[in-house]
Structure 1
Amino acid sequence: MPQLNPSPWLFIMLTSWLTYSLIIQPKLLSFVTANPPSNKASVTPSTTPWTWPWT
């Protein structure tokens, strides 16, 4: 069973994840800007209690 032998695919998987996380991801994150937080006041909606028919 070739899938039980981790030799061919484990090195490829680790290399690709290290490449992605150390090289590609910081380069991509430098282009993506996060949304700035808004200064809106949080408004709580006015809710009416539910009248249950059996109480």
Structure 2
Amino acid sequence: MPQLNPNPWFTILIFTWAVFLTILPNKVTSHKMPNELLTKDPSNLLTEIWYWPWH
């Protein structure tokens, strides 16, 4: 039963996780967001209650 022999698949598992934990986070964090967040003026925020006639 080859599934019980941990030598081949355990090595592949360790190398795969090593790649996931070392290379991929650097690639993901190097991307820039396409839209920068804008701060809103607090005086323009909607503070009134909505009127819902069907409720």
Structure 2: how far apart are the matches of 1:30 and 1:7? 35
**Paired position in structure 1 for 2:15:** 15
Q: What's the offset of the Cα at 1:32?
A: 5.0
Distance of 2:32 and 2:20 partners within structure 1: 16
Which contiguous aligned blocks of 4+ residues in structure 1 show a shift greater than 3 angstroms?
A: none
RMSD: 3.4
State TM-score, norm by structure 1: 0.51
Q: 5+ residue gaps in structure 2?
A: 50-55
The Cα shift of 1:29 comes to: 2.1
Count of residues in correspondence between the two structures: 50
One-letter code aligned to 2:3 = Q
Higher helix residue share = 2
The letter of the residue matching 1:31 is H
In the superposition, the TM-score normalised over structure 2's length comes to: 0.51
Provide closer, same or farther for how the CA distance between residues 8 and 25 of structure 1 changes in structure 2, counting only shifts above 3 A.
same
Gaps of at least 5 residues in structure 1 are 46-55
Distance 1:24-1:7 versus aligned 2 partners, 3 A rule: same
Percent of pairs identical after alignment?
Answer: 35
